[in-house]
Amino acid sequence: MTTSATPGEARSASGPALPIGPKPIPRRFHQARWDEPIIFELSTPGARGVLPPATEPGITALVGDPAAALPAGVRRSAPPALPELSQLHVVRHYTRLSQENLGADLNIDVGQGTCTMKYSPKVNDRFARDPRIADLHPLQDLSTVQGVLEIAWRLERLLAEISGMDRVTLQPGAGSAAIWTNVSMIRAYHASRGDTARDEVVTTIFSHPSNAACAKVAGYKVITLYPDADGYPDLDALRAAVSDRTAALLITNPEDTGIFNPRIEDFVRVVHEAGGLACYDQANANGLLGVTRARDAGFDLCHFNLHKTFSTPHACGGPGAGACGVTSELARFLPRPTVEFDGSAYRLDDDRPESIGKVRPWYGVVPNLVRAYAWIMSLGAEGLREVAEIAVLNNNYLMQRVLEIRGLSAPFAAGKRRIEQVRYSWDEMTRETGVHSEEVGFRAADFGAHYWTSHHPFVVPEPMTLEPTESYSRADLDEYAAILRTIAAEAYADPAFVHGAPYQSTIHRIDHEPLDDPERWAVTWRAYRRKHLAPDPAEAT
Amino acid sequence: MTDQQARPHPYIPNAVPEVKAAMLRAVGAASIDEFYADVPPSLRLTAPLHLPEPFRSEAELVRHVEGLLRRNTSTRDVLSFLGAGCYPHHVPAVCDEVAGRSEFLTAYAGEPYEDHGRFQALFEYESMMGELLEMDVVNVPVYDGFQASSTALRMAGRLTGRRRVLVPASMSRDKRSRILDYVRPDLDVEEVAFEPATGLLDLAALGRALGDDVAGVLVENPGYLGVVEARAAQIASMAHAAGALAIGDVDPSTLGVLAPPAAWGADLACGDIQPLGIHQQFGGGNGGFIASHDDPRVVMEFPSRLFGIAPTAVPGEYGFGDVAYERTSFAVREEGKEWVGTAAALWGITAGVYLALMGPRGMQELGETMMARTRYAMTLLAAVPGVRVPFSGQHHVKEFVVDLSATGQTVAAVSRGLLERGIFFGKDLSTEHPVLGQAALVCVTEVHAQADIDRLADELREVLR
């Protein structure tokens, strides 16, 4: 119909017009949907993606083909049944898959509370990829790696100052590995004193599950404290829990509720008086940088997640990097080697008889150590303090905005401010509409937003955990709140619609049931083919 | 002039003073301090941290870090024969390209909808590793091969209800240290000697060590000293006869030519994926794999995440999710199997890209080329006066031991001499395995051309002259 309009004539309200109308809130997003096959389905027999160097004739002339001489028992009888693709097709497949992934660079990544999804500066990626980091071998002569050792040494000193601890190891692979490292040092400390009766560790339900799980693997019985009526870790419960069997307290502060434990010094004192060590899981440190320190509260050990607080990218779930800080009394138990500096040269000290040994091959996730170092050096003391303050401001601003939404609440510590994150509850909305928190996340995907509930168990019913960090602007926070408000309104108006989400995402609602059925689950394509596809007649012959 | 300190930091958008003030007003707070009401005054820092002055401009930061990097010598600029668990392989450009995609690099624990790509890429990684290993179950990577070996031993302990585990005495000291620290409360680790003449596991010693209290036998193949464990099948049979599990601890880059552990009877496979398209990174580029057959009893003992394929509401559409999630510490805290957390997912994706690029023929050719070049290097070095290659009668893929004892020189001294000539010699084994004398572990892969190996032999001859 619009084709009949004459030039210069104003279009009707239903047709295109200038000025272009305002953008709706939230934005009209649609994720890439390539309907991409499994890579095995893209295979063309004979195609090659990359060619390894061929053996020179001079080598063959001297040694023949040693692979052919392998005895039958250890020689591969047929090449592995990998897919065969030309290079472009590998690139295209993975580029499509990458488009079907929202990274923190694309979304307002405040929905993964506890994980501090802050911006990872691009310049730091450049350092990490430099051949003078990426192509160093860990056994090179120390004279050829003074730069990377200096970075490790300097980073250790920075983190020691930030935590107040005396020494720091950068060896753990990520946060849970750092928790393990601390638990292992706690075990070594008590063993060194012949104090072997200590077989219990105390933690809290709002501390990361790995605190409980690592302690269990290290041989400890785990006592888990629940919050008091106000949402604070329960000091009386702690007093009742500690004894001469207490090896340590493993605690997060603020806990995953974003509530700072004002009695933290009492917690440390109670554990110390019982002869245990106090270990601080600083996964939630982002709101406290330059504000308060682990050592000042009396802790003996602490750990940071460099991929959270110190900006290294989360890489779809690693590599991250962990750092453990300890007092000088515990330094002898640190993983070996340590980096040492004598005023002119850096060296590795591997001769540490009381060390717990290795917690990882070599020295740590080096590219992320470089990134974390560069990040801190771009901010300095005042910058770190500003990171904390803005992260906390952003959190309290976002809390104010989202608590305007019908059906949402922030359990515990009513009327109080929070530190860097909040664990909310959609319980009221769920009871009134039948829409669960998890489904809010499915629908959030339709708006290009990542969303997470909480760790298990769901102590807070229908949980949602938001942590806005310092990286997001006020407009970003408003946009995220608008997405949640829209979804809540949809839930009240038409719950069935939310039950059917996502609509604009890469895929539609998954049936998870087969994933728990041994007859049907398939962790690999070969298992899927065996269990669910008819045998290929060509292979049968 | 602009007040340099007043400039908002580029990483902190709401540091703009007007924005900050408006947000404070919006939440009814007089100052940021109000948010810290629960932090006792006794714990609050009253002065700034003692940190160096920052480099607030990117240009100054680059200049500073570049200055530090200049004090490193990349293996690209020399000839390096260092391996010993961190390997110099060619990293295809496509691996770097995919690993650097910001959609993958900056994502995290995404859900199967908005981060479908991550789930599919990791399912495909598991699937390609499954083909390489001829096993149906492969985990989303754990931190590193040491962790994978440690967990495989713990899985064997849980599956058999037994306490003793056997590992080769030739194993690296660092790996043994990691395993000991990790399994100590529940498992007793015992070493099985190797034959001094061959470097192979001593089967008589294995026979003596085996008993009805042994949970698992860890078989490194190739072993740490580079020797292919030609009797792997016999070792697995001996383990099975004692009711123990056989665990194949392998280098995936060798599996184009070596039989996968499943083929010689291993119940579990484990190892490190760093050789599959991941840079050395000063030892910072590891990822661990654990694999098994699709036996539910075994699957339920994995601590790691296992991404499985599932249908969606739309026919022909693939969805993914966690298989048997209730096993994990994410689901049930200390009641789960060991623990799981952020580990090495991006390296899993990268290793998948590598296997897709290489394909069946590429992996086979890689193995053949490494074996030929390694044998060539063994032959040339053995011809250098005073240099002995002790296990030369055995099969090797990419590493071998050289013994310099007869030259009267230490490995340390020889390595220094070679360093001056632009060569990083192999790992000094003289303190780790003193029984081998002044020995070094030399690594040769597809990146070492014939001319490089010739040069090593020539320079070694010169240094020893």
**CA angle (B6, B9, B11) in 5-degree steps:** 170
- Which is nearest to A320 in space by CA: A312, A330, A331, A328? A312
Interacting residues of A534 by C-beta distance below 8 A, sequence separation 6+: none
Confirm or reject contact between A495 and chain B (CB < 8 A): no
Helix (H, G, I), strand (E, B) or coil at A531: helix
- Give the H/E segment covering residue B305: none
* Domains along chain B with CATH numbers: 76-89+368-464 (3.90.1150.10), 93-355 (3.40.640.10)
- Asked whether residue B253 carries a pLDDT value surpassing 70, the answer given is yes
pLDDT tens string for chain A (541 positions)? 344 444 444 455 566 789 999 999 999 999 999 999 999 999 999 999 999 999 999 999 999 999 999 999 999 999 999 999 999 999 999 999 999 999 999 999 999 999 999 999 999 999 999 999 999 999 999 999 999 999 999 999 999 999 999 999 999 999 999 999 999 999 999 999 999 899 999 999 988 999 999 999 999 999 999 998 888 889 999 999 999 999 999 999 998 899 999 999 999 999 999 999 999 999 999 999 999 999 999 999 999 999 999 999 999 999 999 999 999 999 999 999 999 999 999 999 999 999 999 999 999 999 999 999 999 999 999 999 999 999 999 999 999 999 999 999 999 988 889 999 999 999 999 999 999 999 999 999 999 999 999 988 899 999 999 999 999 999 999 999 999 999 999 999 999 999 999 999 999 999 999 999 999 999 999 999 999 997 766 554 4
Residue A69 amino acid letter = A
Retrieve residue A70's tokens: 């392998």
Contacts of B452 (CB under 8 A, 6+ apart): B79
CATH of range A381-499; options 1.10.287.3240, 3.30.70.3280, 3.90.1150.10, 3.40.50.300: 3.90.1150.10
The answer, for B108 touching chain A at a CB cutoff of 8 Å, is: yes
Q: What is the token pair recorded at B153?
A: 């031993």
A173 and B306 in contact by Cβ < 8 A? no
Instruction: Tell me, yes or no, if A471 comes closer than 8 A to chain B by beta carbon.
Output: yes
Question: For residue A531, which of B31, B355, B166, B296 has the smallest C-alpha distance?
Answer: B296
Confidence of residue B110 (pLDDT cuts 50, 70, 90): confident
Alpha-helix runs per DSSP H in A20-174: 57-63, 87-99, 122-129, 131-134, 146-163
Nearest to A90 among B111, B140, B357 (CB): B357
Q: How far apart are CA B100 and CA B82, in angstroms?
A: 26
CB B269 within 8 A of CB B262: yes
End-to-end CA distance of chain A: 62
Tell me, what's the pLDDT at A540?
47
What is the pLDDT, as a whole number, of residue A537? 62
Spatial separation of the C-alpha atoms in residues B440 and B356, rounded to whole Å = 34
User: What amino acid occupies position A226?
Assistant: Y
CB–CB contact A417 B29 (8 Å): yes
pLDDT of residue A413: 87
Partner residue opposite B121 with nearest CB, options A97, A151, A507:
A97
Q: Collect all residues with Cβ–Cβ distance below 8 Å to A43 and sequence separation of at least 6.
A: A83, A84, A85
Q: Is B38 on the interface with A (CB under 8 A)?
A: yes
Query: Given CB atoms, is A341 within the 8 Å cutoff of chain B?
Result: no
Omega before A537 within 30 of 0, i.e. cis: no
Distance (Å, whole) CA A408 – CA A434: 14
d(CA A494, CA A36) in angstroms, rounded, equals 32
Q: Are A52 and B242 in contact (CB under 8 A)?
A: no
Contact between A424 and A431 (Cβ < 8 Å): no
Mutation target to probe the B interface, by most B beta carbons within 10 A, among A293, A478, A510, A539 is A510
Q: Give CA–CA dist A166/A327, Å, rounded.
A: 5
Measured distance CA(A96)–CA(A89) in Å, rounded: 10
b/e A325-358 (16+ beta carbons within 10 angstroms → b): bbbeebbbbbbbbbbeeeeeebebeeebeebbbb
Q: Which residues pair with B312 in a beta bridge?
A: A510
Residue labelled with tokens 């969303």? A451
- Mutation pick from A74, A115, A477 vs chain B, by most beta carbons of B within 10 Å, is A74
pLDDT of res. A2 = 40
B72 and A145 in contact by Cβ < 8 A? yes
pLDDT confidence tier of residue B5, bands split at 50, 70 and 90: low
Q: Does residue B182 have a pLDDT over 90? A: yes
Name the token pair of A65: 């083909």
pLDDT of residue A13: 57
Label residues A199-228 b or e (16+ Cβ within 10 Å = b).
ebbbbbbbbbbbbbbbbbbbebebbbbebe
Using a CB-CB cut-off of 8 Å, the residues of chain A touching B85 are: 361-362
CB distance from A185 to chain B under 8 Å?
no
Query: What letter does residue A54 receive in the DSSP assignment?
Result: P
Q: Which of A200, A246, A198 is nearest to A220 (CA)?
A: A200
Give the Cα separation of A114 and A119 in Å (integer).
15
- Chain B interface, best mutation among A84, A95, A123, A136, by max B CB count within 10 A: A136
Q: What angle do CA B12, B17, B20 make, to 5 degrees?
A: 70
Strands B439-443 and B268-272: unpaired
Provide the shortest C-alpha distance from residue B212 to chain A (in Å): 24
pLDDT of residue A12: 53
Residues of chain A with CATH 3.90.1150.10: 381-499
Topology of domain A125-378 in CATH is Aspartate Aminotransferase; domain 2 (3.40.640)
Chain A and chain B share a number of CB contacts under 8 A equal to 740
Considering CB atoms only, which of A69, A84, A392 is closest to B32?
A392
Q: How many CB atoms are closer than 10 A to CB B105? A: 22
Q: Do B283 and A366 touch (CB under 8 A)?
A: yes
Q: What is the pLDDT of residue B4?
A: 65
Chain B residues lying within 8 Å of A378, measured CB to CB: 9, 11, 54-56, 58, 61
- As a whole number of angstroms, the distance between CA A499 and CA A493 comes to 12
C-alpha A219: how far from its chain's center? 26
B337's tokens: 């199997």
**Tokens 């590793």 belong to residue:** B129
Contacts of A448 in chain B (CB under 8 A): 114
